[in-house]
Amino acid sequence: MRRRLVVAIAPLLVLLMLGVLVPTAGTVAERHTATLVADRLSDASRFSVLALTALTGGTALQADLVRLRAELDEYADLYDTPMWFLDREQQVLHATDGSPPPAAATDRLTGVLAGQLPPVERTVWPWRIEPELIVTPVGRDSQVVAALVLAVPTDSVRAEILGDWALLGGLFALVATLAVWLVGPMTRWILRPVADLERSAAAVRAGRLDARAAPDSGPPELRNLTAGFNDMVDAVRRTIERQQRFVADAAHQLRNPIASVRLSVENLEPHLAADDDARVAYSDAVDDLDRMSTVLSSMLAATAVADRPAASSGPVGTALGHRAAAWRAAAEEAGMEFAEDLTGTATRVREPTGGLAAAVDELVANAVRLSRGSTVTVRGRPDGAGYRIDVVDDGRGLDEEGRRRATERFWRSPHDQNVPGTGLGLAIVAQVLGDAGGSLELTGTPGGGLTAVVRVPPAT
């Protein structure tokens, strides 16, 4: 789970970094562009003043124009920046390199000569090699008499932008690497209590009410959750223990009075009259007392399930041991044939409370005692990652309603009411298998009979 979380978080971190890096890179380029344009606009403004003086200087007009052209040429040579001086009709009064102004400056010139503000210059990007065009008006107030065009080279600015981008990229790469590297420890710190809580919940689900989650790790919110889980398990355990003690104590306390009452009733038998009514009443009383004793024994058996330790995981062969001999002996004693077919017994499974052998013992005992058939077969084979065991008989079986209710506590089949038993065997088997992550299913045997299907999950 930690690996999946890291894989999910890492792209999000990278996207977050890119979300910050891209706008920052754009801001860096805009800042360098603004610095370049501001410097050249300052120079262009000075030339604009000189040009206005040259155009409106009266008798010194020719001398001022000569001096202006000389300064423009000197500036162009010094900064490698071609410049053009144009009048209101866009006629070139001077070109530092003798070429016409760039076609891209035509629209800007038209607007500036019409008295409009110079347009905002485009941002310089490292991949944009054309020069930056700056158009500035020559005039006073709103009277524009000429214009200056500068084709500013951007090589140095693009180099500076690339350098800053490289520094920025390296810084963000370092931060991203550090963040991704910290994802693992942070994820472990956050998920450790979650994994521990998951293990504890699985243990409680399997019947181990003494399992607790470590309460002193992870974020405070998870610590509170862990503490709440532990308190909940404590409360459940106390409740179950109180219920078990109450049922056990009640059953034990009632057994002696019932035994005493039965003894008293039996002592009355020699004094009964010979009429049928007295004998029937006596027989009913004894039957009722027997039924009460059976109910008390069933209650004690049900409460004893929780006190049995949960078996550890292991191979099926080890879990079943040599129980096949006992199953065969029980079947032969009842006059039935027994067959066994277990394959893949090296499969490791999680055993239910009391052990897998105890669950199969109960199913074989039920088949021998209640089926009234001639054969009992125990078959087993791997089922996916777990294991499946079928206990099959060819007896009278159960109808669909009977198979559905057979795992209810104290339920007895109508034709088994006079057979000794508590009606808890299948209910307990189904319960302990379900608690361990397995299941018990009752189906009809083809040709007649009942098949009990036990599924146990793989060892974890």
Mind listing the pLDDT tens digit for each residue in 213-265? 877 777 777 788 888 888 888 888 888 778 777 777 777 677 778 778 778 87
> What is the model's pLDDT at position 382?
93
Position with higher pLDDT, 40 vs 291 = 40
> What is the model's pLDDT at position 308?
54
Question: For residue 379, what pLDDT band results from cuts at 50, 70 and 90?
Answer: very high
Q: Where are the domains positioned within the chain?
A: 2-159, 220-305, 314-456
Q: CA 136, CA 145: separation in Å to the nearest integer?
A: 11
Question: For residue 343, what pLDDT band results from cuts at 50, 70 and 90?
Answer: very high
Mean pLDDT (whole number) for 430-441: 86
> What is the model's pLDDT at position 229?
85
Q: Is the pLDDT of residue 293 over 80?
A: no
Token output for 345: 């017994």
Position with higher pLDDT, 458 vs 265 = 458
Question: For residue 10, what pLDDT band results from cuts at 50, 70 and 90?
Answer: low
Percent of the chain exceeding pLDDT 90 equals: 12
Q: Highest mean pLDDT: which of 237-246, 375-384, 421-430?
A: 375-384
Least confidently predicted of 63-67, 194-198, 417-421: 417-421
Q: CA 369, CA 419: separation in Å to the nearest integer?
A: 8
> What is the residue-wise DSSP string for 124-165?
P-TT--SPEEEEEEEEETTEEEEEEEEEE--HHHHHHHHHHH
Whether the pTM exceeds 0.85: the reply is no
Q: CA 427, CA 429: separation in Å to the nearest integer?
A: 6
Least confidently predicted of 173-182, 267-276, 369-378: 267-276
> Are the C-beta atoms of residues 203 and 353 closer than 8 Å to each other?
no
> Are the C-beta atoms of residues 132 and 118 closer than 8 Å to each other?
no
Least confidently predicted of 332-341, 367-376, 404-413, 428-437: 404-413
Taking domain 2-159, whether its CATH number is 3.30.428.10 is answered by no
Q: Is the pLDDT of residue 413 over 70?
A: no
Return the half-sphere exposure (C-beta side, CA atoms, 13 A cut-off) of residue 338. 19
> Are the C-beta atoms of residues 45 and 137 closer than 8 Å to each other?
no
Q: In this structure, which amino acid lies at residue 449?
A: G
Q: In this structure, which amino acid lies at residue 117?
A: L
Burial classification of residue 263, based on how many CB atoms lie within 10 Å of its CB (0-12 exposed, 13-18 middle, 19 or more buried): exposed
Q: Highest mean pLDDT: which of 94-108, 186-200, 308-322, 408-422?
A: 94-108
> Are the C-beta atoms of residues 82 and 99 closer than 8 Å to each other?
yes
Mean pLDDT of the chain: 81
pLDDT digits (tens, 9 = 90+) for 34-93: 888 888 888 888 888 888 887 776 544 677 788 888 888 888 888 888 999 888 888 888
* Residue whose C-alpha is closest to residue 444's, from 377, 374, 393: 393
Within its chain, how far is the Cα of 271 from the centroid? 76
Question: For residue 419, what pLDDT band results from cuts at 50, 70 and 90?
Answer: low
Token output for 324: 């096949």
> What is the model's pLDDT at position 455?
93
> What is the model's pLDDT at position 451?
93
Mean pLDDT (whole number) for 169-193: 76
Token output for 337: 């044939």
* Residue whose C-alpha is closest to residue 25's, from 135, 119, 127, 102: 127
Q: Highest mean pLDDT: which of 55-59, 155-159, 338-342?
A: 338-342
Percent of the chain exceeding pLDDT 70 equals: 86
Q: Is the pLDDT of residue 378 over 90?
A: yes
Within its chain, how far is the Cα of 258 from the centroid? 57
Long-range contacts from 287-294, C-beta under 8 angstroms, 24+ separation: 289/258, 289/261, 289/262, 289/265, 290/262, 292/254, 292/258, 293/255, 293/258, 293/259, 293/262, 294/422
Least confidently predicted of 234-248, 347-361, 410-424: 410-424
Mean pLDDT (whole number) for 3-10: 59
pLDDT digits (tens, 9 = 90+) for 387-403: 999 999 998 888 888 88
Q: Which CATH number fits domain 220-305: 1.10.287.130, 1.10.10.10, 1.10.357.10, 3.40.50.150?
A: 1.10.287.130
Q: Which CATH architecture does the domain made up of 314-456 adopt?
A: 2-Layer Sandwich (3.30)
Mean pLDDT (whole number) for 372-378: 91
> What is the residue-wise DSSP string for 411-450?
---GGGTTS---S-HHHHHHHHHHHTT-EEEEEEPTTSSE
> What is the model's pLDDT at position 393?
93
* Residue whose C-alpha is closest to residue 337's, from 369, 368, 375: 375
Q: CA 453, CA 383: separation in Å to the nearest integer?
A: 11
Position with higher pLDDT, 282 vs 412 = 282
Residue 390 backbone dihedrals phi, psi, to 5 degrees: -110, 125
Q: Give the three-state DSSP class for 347.
A: coil
Question: For residue 414, what pLDDT band results from cuts at 50, 70 and 90?
Answer: low
- CA dihedral over 25, 31, 36, 41, signed as positive or negative: positive
